[in-house]
Amino acid sequence: MTLKELHPGQSARIDKVDARQPGVVRLMVLGLIEGVEVQYENSAIGGDPMEVSVNGAAISIRKQQAGCFSISPIASNV
Amino acid sequence: MSEINETYIPVSDIGIRRRATASIAVIGNPNSGKSTLFNRLTGLRQTTGNYPGVTVEKHSGTVQLSDTALELVDLPGIYCLGGFSTDERIAVDVLLGRIEGTPRPDGLLVVLDATHLYQGLYLLQQLMEMQLPMVVAMTMTDVATASGIDISIEVLQRHLGGIPIYPLVATSGRGLEALKEALEQIDSAPAPSIPESWPELSQTADQLMGDTANGLPRIDVIQALLHPESKRAGVLQQQHGSAKLEAIREQLFGDEPPQACEARHRYGWVNEVLREAQRQAPVMKRFGANSWRWLNRPWPATLLFFAVMALVFQAVFSWATPLMEAIDLGATLLAGQVGKLLPEGALSSFITDGVIAGVGSVLIFLPQILILFLFIIVLEDSGFLARAAFLMDRIMRTVGLSGQSVIPMLSSFACAVPAIMATRVIPNRRDRIATILAAPFMTCSARLPVYALLIAAFVPDHSIGWFNLQGLVLLGLYLLGIIGGLATAWLLKRSALRGPKPQFALALPEFRLPNLQTVLIKLWDRARIFLKRAGTVIFVVAIIVWGLAYFPRSDGIQIELQSDLARVQTTLTGEPLATEIQRLENTAAADQLAQSYLGRAGRFIEPVFRPLGWDWRVSAAVIAGFPAREVVVAVMGTIYAVGEEAEEASLTVKLRSASWPDGSPIFTVPMVLGLLLFYAWCLQCAATIATIRRETNGWRWPIFAWTYMTTIGYVGALLIYQLGSLL
């Protein structure tokens, strides 16, 4: 499963980043790397780009790049 | 050194002289409160200059300490020393001393946002490798506490090898004095130890440095390894040979981009530090987000964006109008007064129609520009613009751009000059150039007087349902500009600027109340840059156009005018006399213009514009408008003999009755529509051309933009006139 398939409000842990795809390095510099927990906060109309947060920092990411982040969802305790 | 015995210099003077040369770079993430801190420290002791040989402004200020002064240099916010956009690259180049003639800073004041330690520590870690004396200011500590983040300064400091950290509370200014004291001691501060986040990289750098005496500084070696395309990498390659470096890089980074490996190692370290220094992980529900959360949902956020933009445009146009009218009136009155004082002739005309009108034509833009800048700065500092880019990304993608092009495009509705400068945030050069070339299509404030004149004169004031026909035509012209700009970007991104899809990775700051002092200082700063960049060009152009329209003077026309005036003074009195004098003077002015260089140029070029339905007078006005489109209405006023400052109504009447020698009207509906389209699409602005040259570092793109826009403006007007005339 990749970040692309996450639902708004859901959290996940990043397992693997495919850094060779264009535009991914910039996102890694902003803090989206293996092992961190991300939450899908919001999106623009149509669900693309998405807004995810990591350690309190909100980052905008396009669906295309979101597909390069393999994740495992964290069950929400709501 | 024998002078020492002869000259007495007080010890305190020596101290000041030595310290004043110390330059401290202020650096931090975007939106970390860096500018606010910079302004608090320097107050109004700020200057904006230029880095030698670079097109970017150097923003520096002086901080007065108890008995010394330091120069602070404010740099654009960055996330890493990689430098993705032009803005970021400048910051990195200044930090690393890569700008010729600008030495490396003597120390760093690093701004760390307490609510965003994660990204802040990432940058800080890279900065520590520069091994410069360093002081850390931690901003937003009150916000952090309010959102449940508990930071242990001591633990953090221990991880950072003892770098002094000063927590600040922005609202009360607490902590500022302690920070100033620390700055005073900055050059006695020890160089920071290097954090061991990536031992392999450190060791490799040490080895490479050991291999060559007189080599690059350590930070340069590290950056050269991480960025194989950079200039420093070339130097390293000369020293060690490409085969050796290839092998080293292969071993360090494998087949992944170096910066990706770097991010993994460094964020690993950051997470380790945070686990110990930050008691409670920042809550995901960020400060102030709860009650307004729904506003960030896709539809409400998008609607809010359009509502805010509507408000901005309303403000830019309705608030600015009275001010613009006042400036216009002021310039006219002043010109009138000066005209009375000076004897009639070239000097009087130069002062009134050249200098005063030229200054007026610069000042007239200020109200709109200032109001627009004010809104943009407030929206920028409150975090709204980043959201706007996020929301509009999908739409901009259809023309091959990204959300980051939205802000420059919006600015260019007031003026393309600041818009083109605002493109510096766009990471990819191709995307940036496509945006630069699209921006001048947007209907700027200088086009409006021409639109207003032609629409009022030739579009009937009909109502169509709820709408007014004149309003609809104006709306159509705005749309024409938007379509022209977006189509241009789309075409360029498919041809000359073809390249990988633009990236869009943006940090989204949370909404924050902007700091008033910061907003005002930024506004003052941008207004000054606008006046310097655009103002000088517009002024010079106004003088040149005046010269072309004034010279050569025909004595015959003046003599005839004098004899006519003498004649009417004997035959008429009172009101009819005044009217007749005015008419004669206007006719003489029109005759003078007709045989001036501008008038001759109009006649010379008329065959070119004839297929568009323009006579020599329209052609001359259009030529005068090429360097600055705003002069067109004034030139038309003179050329149609209604006087330069005539009521629009009288010019309207003249335009309506203007005719070809055979008596058929010149201003027909197809001709006017064509002329409007020409104005919508043509690049008639020397200030814009100069700005494009500066920002793209050459003549290639400004020449292309001018040729391209003039061509499509001409062809468009030609098609409308020819097809319209057939109907």
B22 versus A78: the higher-pLDDT residue is B22
Query: Do B146 and B49 share a domain, yes or no?
Result: yes
Residue B609 lies in a domain: yes
Above 50 in pLDDT, residue B18? no
Residue B184 lies in a domain: yes
Above 60 in pLDDT, residue B7? no
Cα–Cα distance, B165 to B151 (Å, whole number)? 12
B166 versus A22: the higher-pLDDT residue is B166
Neighbours of B54 (CB within 10 A): 16
Query: Do B607 and B652 share a domain, yes or no?
Result: yes
Query: Do B184 and B203 share a domain, yes or no?
Result: no
The domain spanning residue B151 has which CATH number?
3.40.50.300
The pLDDT value given to residue B405: 92
Above 50 in pLDDT, residue B287? no
Number of domain units in chain A: 1
The pLDDT value given to residue A77: 53
Q: What are phi and psi of B48, to 5 degrees?
A: -120, 115
Query: Do B234 and B102 share a domain, yes or no?
Result: no
The pLDDT value given to residue B365: 77
For the purposes of burial, counting CB atoms within 10 Å of the CB of B123, is it exposed (0-12), middle (13-18) or buried (19 or more)? buried
Q: Which amino acid is at A33?
A: I
Residues of chain A contacting B259 with CB distance shorter than 8 Å:
25, 28-29
The pLDDT value given to residue B643: 62
B403 contacts A49? CB cut-off 8 A: yes
A34-56: b (≥16 Cβ within 10 Å) or e: bebebbbbbbbeeebbbbbbbbb
The pLDDT value given to residue B19: 45
Look at residues B245, B277, B309 and tell me which one is the last residue of a structural domain: B277
> Which chain B residues in 296-325 lie under 8 Å from chain A, judged by CB atoms?
296-299, 301-302
Cα–Cα distance, B288 to B460 (Å, whole number)? 52
Position B722 confidence tier, pLDDT thresholds 50, 70, 90: very high
Of the candidates B638, B630, B633, the one whose C-alpha atom is nearest the C-alpha of residue B592 is B638
For the purposes of burial, counting CB atoms within 10 Å of the CB of B570, is it exposed (0-12), middle (13-18) or buried (19 or more)? exposed
- The whole model's pTM is what? 0.84
Q: Residues B395-399: contacts with CB within 8 Å, 24+ apart? A: B397/B501, B397/B502, B398/B490, B399/B486, B399/B487, B399/B489, B399/B490, B399/B493
pLDDT in tens, B630-650: 788 778 777 776 665 555 667
Residue B330 lies in a domain: no
CA distances from B277 to B32, B110, B153, B271, B274 (A): 19, 18, 7, 10, 5
Query: Do B178 and B256 share a domain, yes or no?
Result: no
Measured in angstroms, the CA of B30 and the nearest CA of chain A are apart by 12
- Optimal mutation site among A7, A29, A77, interface B, most CBs of chain B within 10 A: A29
Number of domain units in chain B: 3
pLDDT in tens, B231-247: 878 888 888 888 888 89
Residue B472 lies in a domain: no
Position B3 confidence tier, pLDDT thresholds 50, 70, 90: very low
B274/A contact by beta carbon, under 8 A: yes
DSSP class of residue B356 equals I
The pLDDT value given to residue B2: 44
Residue of chain B nearest A27, judged by CA positions: B505
- Optimal mutation site among B122, B430, B508, interface A, most CBs of chain A within 10 A: B508
B80 contacts A31? CB cut-off 8 A: no
Residue B357 lies in a domain: no
Mean pLDDT of B408-416: 86
B504/A contact by beta carbon, under 8 A: yes
Residues of chain A contacting B271 with CB distance shorter than 8 Å:
35-36
B255/A contact by beta carbon, under 8 A: yes
The pLDDT value given to residue B189: 75
Look at residues B277, B295, B326 and tell me which one is the last residue of a structural domain: B277
B329/A contact by beta carbon, under 8 A: no
- The per-residue pLDDT of chain B, averaged, comes to 85
Look at residues B277, B307, B326 and tell me which one is the last residue of a structural domain: B277
Q: Which two tokens stand for residue B83?
A: 């430098």
B82 contacts A27? CB cut-off 8 A: no
DSSP class of residue B351 equals I
Residue among A19, A33, A48 whose CB faces B267 most closely: A33
Q: Which amino acid is at B315?
A: A
Query: Do B60 and B148 share a domain, yes or no?
Result: yes
Cα–Cα distance, B233 to B353 (Å, whole number)? 57
Query: Do B203 and B184 share a domain, yes or no?
Result: no
Cα–Cα distance, B367 to B345 (Å, whole number)? 33
Structural domain boundaries enclosing B218: 199-277
Query: Do B146 and B253 share a domain, yes or no?
Result: no
Q: Which of A54-68, B74-88, B458-472 has the lowest mean pLDDT?
A: B458-472
B138-147: b (≥16 Cβ within 10 Å) or e: bbbbbbbeeb
Position B119 confidence tier, pLDDT thresholds 50, 70, 90: very high
CA distances from B192 to B107, B158, B186, B394, B607 (A): 11, 11, 12, 44, 72
Residue B411 lies in a domain: no
Structural domain boundaries enclosing A7: 3-74
The pLDDT value given to residue B678: 94
The pLDDT value given to residue B122: 95
Upstream peptide bond of B52 is cis (omega within 30 degrees of 0) = no
Residue B501 lies in a domain: no
Residue of chain A nearest B404, judged by CA positions: A60
Residues of chain A contacting B117 with CB distance shorter than 8 Å:
55
The domain spanning residue A27 has which CATH number?
2.30.30.90
Query: Do B117 and B240 share a domain, yes or no?
Result: no
Residue B593 lies in a domain: yes
pLDDT in tens, B522-581: 898 888 888 887 888 888 888 888 888 888 888 888 888 888 888 888 887 778 888 888
B636 versus B124: the higher-pLDDT residue is B124
